[in-house]
Amino acid sequence: MQSTMSYTARFDENNQEIVLAGSIRPKGADELAELRKTFDRAIQATRGTLYLNAKRLVQLNNAGFQEITNFVKSAGLQKPNLKITVITSSYVGWSLRKFSLLQKIGSNVTVEQYDKDFYPGQSVLEDSGFIPILRTQTKMTWRHERDLLPRHGLKPAMAVADICCGIGDFAALVYKEFQPSRLLAIDHSKPSLAYARKVASDFHIEGIEYVHGDAANLLVEDNEFDFVTCRHSLQVFDRPELILKELFRICKPGGRVYITNEKNSHCLGEPRADSIQWTYNEVARLWAHFKMDIELGPKSRRFLLDAGFDDVQVESFMVTNRDGDPQDFADVIASWEDVYAGQMAVQRGDTAEFIARFRQGFQDHISAALHPKGYAGWPIWAASARKPR
């Protein structure tokens, strides 16, 4: 039998957590010496609850599972009061079923499935109602990003990953423009991925791997990609630093991570600037209610430096009604109004009066975009940084 042993087992003393990742498929128990050492150290160093994080463990054969069973038994014998919590992932089909067997060993073992409840804003974003927003936005931003991406280090024939790819339109554009050697696009929304696959098939694009996954626990090896993108997405998480940690991990040393984010309260328009300003200040508050930070754009530099990157480059650009057909920008604003006023404000329980005023600002922004002498803008921060060698 072929042994497949590409796993890592790390004990994080601070979080009392053993993190397993990769594939544990040994030929015999002797190949598991390293794993056993990690388990022993963890049992010695832990009090209360020891977490066994198996979210990124993609394969496990019977010998590997037996070793984990022995570890749980041995923990129970050495420290009868120690609780063990195993965390599985919904992306690894067998994981919950298999690890649930450990609960038979004793009442000190619990098995949990990590799921979308971890992200407060996710219910809004995973809805297919979000698709029109993403479609119209990318159409507007690509004009700018096509030119600025090479300045941030994107070159042809690179291995590229687009994390939180949404409906995959950016990945498709990168594929056509930069011909990457590999292009992996991951998102947590099944409707968005279904849409992405359909567009790729309609456009006869066969080289993009669209994969369902969790940006905070990517089933991807360390140091795999030259260029990792994550657009308009750090701003949707309550803890963006967890996503950045993953972007850092999968990026090759010397490679770059590229992020774009907004500061929605800086959206502007003339005429009727005050009404427009009021509404976008309220958009920022509405997103904060769902624990998302649509004001993150100018904070990008700090986030990248705190995550361990160097050579940070930040630039901002303004999408406006002067970029091509003004109706395109009016469509973006109309899609925001639909979701922010029609769905999110309703979900928050806002009054009819508030929603009417909230909608008015979007309508005024649309009028500014379409007005023969009007001006309407949406500022975006594009930042990239290098993973140190």
C-beta of 22 vs 166, nearer to ligand SAM? 166
- CB atoms inside a 10 Å sphere around CB 160: 24
Q: Which two tokens stand for residue 40?
A: 């022993």
Burial of 357 (0-12, 13-18, 19+ CB in 10 A): middle
The smaller minimum CB distance to ligand SAM, of residues 214 and 295, is found at 214
Contact 378, 297 (CB under 8 A): no
Which of residues 125 and 296 has its CB atom nearest to ligand SAM in the complex? 125
Minimum distance of ligand SAM from residue 220's CB (angstroms)? 12
214 lies in the site for ligand SAM, by CB under 6 A: yes
Instruction: Select the residue whose beta carbon is closest to ligand SAM and give its number.
Output: 166
Q: Which two tokens stand for residue 179?
A: 């011909």
Which amino acid is residue 260, in one-letter code? T
Q: Is 131 in the site for ligand SAM (CB under 6 A)?
A: no
Asked if 125 is part of the footprint of ligand SAM (rule: CB under 6 A), the reply reads yes
| Cβ partners under 8 Å of residue 370, min gap 6 | 321, 326, 327, 330
Residue 126 found at the interface with ligand SAM (CB under 6 A): yes
User: Which DSSP letter does residue 217 get?
Assistant: B
Site membership for ligand SAM, residue 166 (CB under 6 A): yes
CA distance 246 to 388: 15
| Nearest-10 crossing angle of helices 326-336, 352-370 | 170
Give the range of 34-42, 164-172, 246-254, 304-312 binding ligand SAM by CB under 6 A: 164-172
Nearer to ligand SAM (CB atom), residue 64 or residue 166: 166
174-193 binders of ligand SAM (CB under 6 A): 187-189, 192
338 interacts with ligand SAM by CB under 6 A: no
> How many residues in the shown chain lie near ligand SAM by CB under 6 A?
22
Based on the shown chain and the rule CB under 6 A, indicate whether residue 122 belongs to the binding site for ligand SAM. yes
Candidates 215, 286, 344, 376; binder of ligand SAM (CB under 6 A) is: 215
Q: Does 334 bind ligand SAM (CB under 6 A)?
A: no
In the complex with ligand SAM, which residue's Cβ is closer, 39 or 336? 336
Contact in structure between 41 and 5 (CB atoms under 8 Å): no
Tokens matching residue 184: 């992996």
CA proximity to 48, closest of 75, 70, 69 = 75
CA distance 287 to 264: 10
**String of contacts with ligand SAM for each residue 226-265, x by CB under 6 A:** -----xxx--x-----------------------------
Query: How far is residue 283's CA from residue 264's CA, in Å, rounded to a whole number?
Result: 7
Place of tokens 């626990």: 217
Q: Does 138 bind ligand SAM (CB under 6 A)?
A: yes
- Residues at the interface with ligand SAM (CB under 6 A): 119, 122, 125-126, 134, 137-138, 164-166, 170, 187-189, 192, 214-216, 231-233, 236
